[in-house]
Structure 1
């Protein structure tokens, strides 16, 4: 299991409950990650060839890529490594978000494009796109930023920025208060999907705040499901469990 998401943890728990051996691999980018049940390994494999060797040496019978929708490099390695090792691969990816009535969403293809877009929309920006992408906004000298991250970010950063270290899930009331207290007039996020962080989108809608949404990167075509039960059925079929 290539994990790090809530769906990965839920699937690992279901599989372990069925007495299946599960090894969850975490990238190690978060200092104190939420750990799944079962065996856990932390760190990379050394690219797709290293992953293929690990799969072969450990007699892996099935691979589930349940990484974050924006873990593009890991997704490519999973596809190539599993194919090289001859191991069936499933992509477990939660559905993306959809704008609703009253939403003002601006879709962009990258954080760099988001940094350009915000100059048209406002001056006080709430960044919820992760600590690793903050450098894309370092050139924005006129805007003030509130950036929420799990771990402290590293420079380069925008010159006018406040860092909020926090981890979801969040509630609409709290998100609305945050937007109000910091006088936020633009929200920037990635299309992560799921329910853990949707409260900020509802709060933005209620307060009439535009949202800049970064589209998901493309992934290699492979068998894909959107729910943990569907992934559980696939694994059960692959292993005859």
Structure 2
């Protein structure tokens, strides 16, 4: 794979901590945010590191004070329409009725708001498939390594199909390893920001980001 085909929306789990800030906004809604802390009505989230960013906003690694659980928080910026946010949350809540470990999709925990920013709380995973490939000496996977990944993806996609949901944005960045050391090649699909119900998809519409885009027919 060539890095020329990577989408501009990148999710990484680098161990290097970077300066973290909320997506920009024209309003003064940051009163709930102290330095390196996100606050919801139910818990504070101590920011540990920056994980990634894209056109949607950014993702940070946090410790949830109410439970001491390490979680990932996706902070949506104001470029996301209210309808798109509601659609993503509705699909994530639909999936909450199913076992995320069995069906291989990221576990959605909850949603809260920081001023005008919607924040989505997820379980913390290890690294995405692209980053894993970049860390391997050959930058490729063997057939024996690809097979379990495809089997798990097929299980997840079969569930989505039964629910009438299309992910629309499958790519190495959105396939996460759960624990690359202790659970080799156990994966979960992430990022349902572009997911749609089949009934919502219009023929001829673009459903994916530039480098992975296809035209529905």
Please tell me whether Structure 1 or Structure 2 has the larger radius of gyration of its CA atoms: 1
User: Same-fold call, TM > 0.5?
Assistant: no
TM-score (norm 2): 0.28
**Higher RCO structure (Cα 8 Å, ≥6 apart):** 1
More strand by percentage: 2
More helix by percentage: 1
TM-score (norm 1): 0.26
